[in-house]
Structure 1
Amino acid sequence: MNQPPEYQSDTLIIRYDDPVWKIQPLTRLDLTYSEDFLKEATNFLTNKPANTIIDLSLVPYMSSSGVKSILNLQQLLRPHRYQVILCNLTSTVQKLVELSELVHVFIIAEDYNKARQKADSI
């Protein structure tokens, strides 16, 4: 079953930007929204694994549920030798990533263009 190259809901945009997936949450990643985020992203990544850039520019807050969802995506991609790259972190999300030492777990880029460069070099 072929997936459309783009999916959009009220809380999420997923687009295949050959050769990577770009996922952009449109709201906070917390207990309320992280389950749907993971479900929708997993649907696309399972059918067509690829390096995945998550643009967090519109995420004002991320809880441990959001972190867990992103970690689950990383685990889904790892057997295929693909990575999750985070970009455009808001200041609140940046602090969470630093305090929880996730800077050692994820590739982090300043913006989408730099994330694409990192994805191309993997």
Structure 2
Amino acid sequence: MGNELFTVKNVKDLWIIKPTGILDLYNSSDFKEKVKNEYINQGKVNLIIDLSSVEYMDSSALGVLVGLQRSCRLNGGTLVLCGLNDNLMRIFQITSLVSVFRIFPNVEDAIKALLEEGKS
């Protein structure tokens, strides 16, 4: 794994965070700390987590996403997910997290929905 856990793009005050590879016990807490310190704690609280390059995630990564979503909400923002492959979508369905997160097919749909809600 490279030293970058994720890449980031900004579109109209929406922060698109794109982790790559595997999110698991070994790196999910680093991911959480970086996102909290570099984005949420800086007032960048409207996040789109693009999971299209994530091959696998375990329960610790799911917990991290739930925690980040809570942090965004507590700070007046929102966190949505997009780009889940079939395996990830199955994990979210089995764990009932599909009812916790708003999940979009791709980044474009997520941006469109959030901008229409006036979250930016």
2:9 aligned partner: 15
TM-score (norm 1): 0.86
Following TM superposition, where does structure 1 have runs of at least 4 consecutive aligned residues deviating by more than 3 angstroms? none
3-state SS in 1 of match to 2:77: coil
Structure 1, residues 4-49: CA drift from partner, whole Å, max 9, x if none?
A: xxxx943211333221111110121110110111011111211123
Query: Greater strand percent: which structure?
Result: 2
- Once the two structures are superposed, residues 39-85 of structure 1 have per-residue CA deviations (whole angstroms, 9 ceiling, x without a partner) of 11111211123211000011111111101111111111112332111
How many residues get paired? Answer: 115
Identical-pair percentage = 29
> What is the root-mean-square deviation in Å for CA atoms of aligned residues?
1.6
Quick one: higher RCO (CA 8 Å, sep 6+), 1 or 2?
2
For structure 2, the 5+ residue unaligned runs are none
> 1-side partners of 2:25 and 2:7: how far apart?
19
**In structure 2, what is the Cα distance between the partners aligned to 1:28 and 1:65?**
12
